[in-house]
Every structure is written in C-alpha cells, then in structure tokens.
A and B are shown apart, each in its own frame.
Chain A
C-alpha cells in the first residue's frame, strides 16, 4: 500500500518568509548602503543562499513523498526515487539553533546508489514515515549509526524495526 505525505502549508509559508526576509535584507543592504569589498561578497553569498532556500521551499510545496514496500519516492520538481533494495544508508539528524539544544527539527536522509532524498520534520506525519523507513532499513540489515539510533529513540522508534 502506498502512503503519501506532504509538507505542512504553514511550515512552507514560514520558510518562504524567511527566504524572502533574508534576501531582502542582504540585497537591501547591498543596494542602499553600498558596502566595502569583502562585505559585498559576504552579502551577495548570503543573498544567493536565501534565494536557494526560498526556491527549496517552493519545491517542497510542490513535492509529495510516497512510500511503499518497494521504494521511497519524492514526486515533484527535483524528485527522486530510491528502491529499498538500493538503499545505501539511512540517517536521522537533529538540528537546533538554540544554545540549550531545545526545540529544533529533524532531517531524514535516505541515500540510494545514485540519488538521495532528504525530508525535514515539518512534513506532516513525519514520525510515521521515519518509522516505516527505519523498518525497511532494518529488514535489509542496514546498520544505523549511533546518532541515528539515538534520534530514533527520541521519536519512540526502535532501531531494530
């Protein structure tokens, strides 16, 4: 049975707003304040990064993650499909910008032989998707690293399927 997942529209709206705000700030400073040499490059790089981030939010809005017993697939622009039998590794990372490491978000990375799919925890029913992916990895005898096992445990998912 194929299950489909989408990113939450609120999360996408926040990402778009962050991208636009950052881009406007960087380009605004470049245009209005006419900064000095090294700062021009730093602001231009930051502007480009914010633009890529905005583009990625749009791509996510148009993407649907599908998962069944044979493969995981990202349908949409820059989509990819990885059959479970070709899965090389599965990683679950946690990131936070707070110094006390509270809050934050997780990212699941499924690597195939040629492509990889990265999914953030802003995806609706992310934990369910991670549990299914971890089960497929376990069935195929993939060894998960210490960090992934620890993060799976935090979501209440067994790393042994």
Chain B
C-alpha cells in the first residue's frame, strides 16, 4: 500500500495545480472583472471617493498585473502586495460583493451546508441500504415490486419540483412556511443551542427533498450490484455447502456490492459542501450553493475561485480516500483492463 499511496499522491499534487490553473482561467475568462463593472457604475454617478477605493483594491489584489502573476499570487506561489498570501497560506482573498474576507463570507454558510448535506448522506444510506438489500434478496416479491415503483417515482421527480410541491401544500393545507434552514430571528446571530435546535427543526424538509432521488438511485444500484454477486458461482457453492444465509450475504456479496459506493466517496465530499444549490434557492436555504451561483454571476472572482478550488480539493481528497479503500478492499486484477507488468 505504500507504493500505491505514494503514486496516488504524486498524481494528486500536479492534478491540484492543473485544477487551480483551470479554475482561475475560467473565472478570468469573461471580459472585465467585478471592479471594472463597479468603476463603470461609479463613474456614471461621479463618485470619486469610491473610485479611489476601487483603484486601491485593484492594486492590492493585483488585478492590474499580468494573468500568470495574478494566478501565482492567488495560489500563494508568488509574493503579492502582502507578501506570500494566497490559498496555500490560508488567505482566500477578498469578496468584492460582500466587502469582506472570503473566509468570513463563507464560514457560517459552509457549516450549514455541511450539516444539511451530511444529514442528506446519512438519510440516504440509512434508508437505501436496508431497502436495497431486501429488494435484492427478495427479488420479484411484492415488496420488491412496490419498492421498485417507489424508487422510480423518486428518481423521476426533480428535487426542486418536489420542493415546490411540498412548499405549496404546506402553505395551502397547513398554513406553514417551510422555507429557510432556521428561524429568521437567528440569521446572522452567533451559534447557540437555540439556534442549533432551530436548524434541526427545519432540517428534515430539505433532507427529505434532497435525499429522495439519491435514495432511490442508491436502492437501484445496490439491488443490481447485489443481484449480480448473489448469482455468482462462489455464492451458489457456499449455499450448497449449507453456509447460513445471513453470514453468506455479509461475508462476500455485500462487500463486493459496496465497491461502487466506496468509489462514490470522491463525489460525496464536495457535495457535502456545495450539493443541492437549486433546491437551496427554491427553499431559501442559507447554504453555500446559492452563494456560489451569485458569486459566479457577479464575477466576484476570489469568492467564486476560492470556493471552486475548495470543492476541487475535496473531490481530489475524496477520490484519494475512495481509491485507497478500494485498493485495500478489493485488490483484484481486472482482466479486461490489461495485465500487470
């Protein structure tokens, strides 16, 4: 495993550098920047004091420098006005739109996103796992057919539509407003037990809305994977030898059927932070997804860039973890993929 870990790390570092370059290039692709737009607006209003501040920010954040230098300063590989101060040094830059450091803008929303999306993952796994195993071990039973139907309904319903329908019915039938991730009184307040309780009270609706399609998809995949394994020769042999059903199920087929889920960890980690942006907009959730959309729209380059880079970092770390787990759990050669050296 040492060779494997080292080789994966050697791939990971240049990958992150390439991602950071691509991210920065994409952020800079549209003509102008947030400050150019501001300057145009202020010039039309004749506000000279604000114009000076904008020029100060432009100089401080090196927006007047060549592209490669801006990139190197942003990553923290080249000294800027404040010396080495970039992503590597933990300085995410300045959000022009919020007029605050990116870290301060993102902080609270990141935590809320984490709580929400982590709960969604737990919900998905807790519901899908027993149902998937039941559906596979009771193939073509009434229970399997019923759960399959429910799964297809869950898969076919877009999350944002489900959110809209729930909001409509809650409002019309019960007079309830189910938007938001906490009571409006707690917005912007420091964390307390009461605030946390309010988050928990509001959490179940978005968890249900976001988790439904993921749960349905997971049930289908787990059922299909497990059915594949259950029909293999070694399972038939073990069954013929009288190995108890539950022990047989847990020892090999279940482990093999879990491989795709372990491979999914790479995608799970970033979704814990940024998942479900559209549902967050519909349900007015104060999570990071809508903020990222807004930052991209307004060319708030440091906010959007740092956020995208953080998500990429989580993806790469997630892939690294899932690859290590897969290598440890199932180090078999795949003959269709080629032979070992």
Contacts and interface: CB of A to CB of B under 8 A. Distances in A.
17 contacts: A25-B13, A37-B90, A39-B88, A39-B90, A50-B9, A56-B2, A94-B333, A96-B337, A97-B7, A100-B338, A101-B334, A102-B334, A102-B337, A105-B340, A107-B331, A151-B331, A154-B340
Task: Say which size band chain B's interface belongs to.
Answer: 20 to 34
Given A33-B88, A33-B89, A147-B330, A22 B10 contact: yes
A95 B4 contact: yes
A52 B2 contact: yes
A101 B340 CA distance: 10
Contact of A29 (B1, B88, B91, B330): B88
Nearest to A42: B317
Given A22-B10, A101-B337, A34 B2 contact: no
Interface of A: 15, 18-19, 21-22, 25, 29, 32-37, 39, 46, 49-50, 52-53, 56, 93-98, 100-107, 120-122, 146-147, 150-151, 154-155
B193 interface: no
Given A34-B89, A98-B337, A103-B341, 19 more contacts: A18-B10, A19-B6, A22-B6, A29-B88, A33-B84, A33-B88, A33-B89, A36-B88, A49-B6, A53-B2, A53-B3, A95-B4, A102-B334, A104-B340, A105-B340, A147-B332, A150-B333, A151-B332, A154-B333
Contacts of B340: 94, 103-106, 121, 154-155
Contact of A97 (B4, B89, B234): B4
A53 B6 contact: yes
Contacts of A107: 3, 331
Contact of B338 (A34, A53, A93, A102): A102
A22 B14 CA distance: 11
B13 A18 contact: no
Contact of A95 (B3, B234, B338): B3
Interface in B232-267: 234, 252
A93 to B, nearest CB: 3
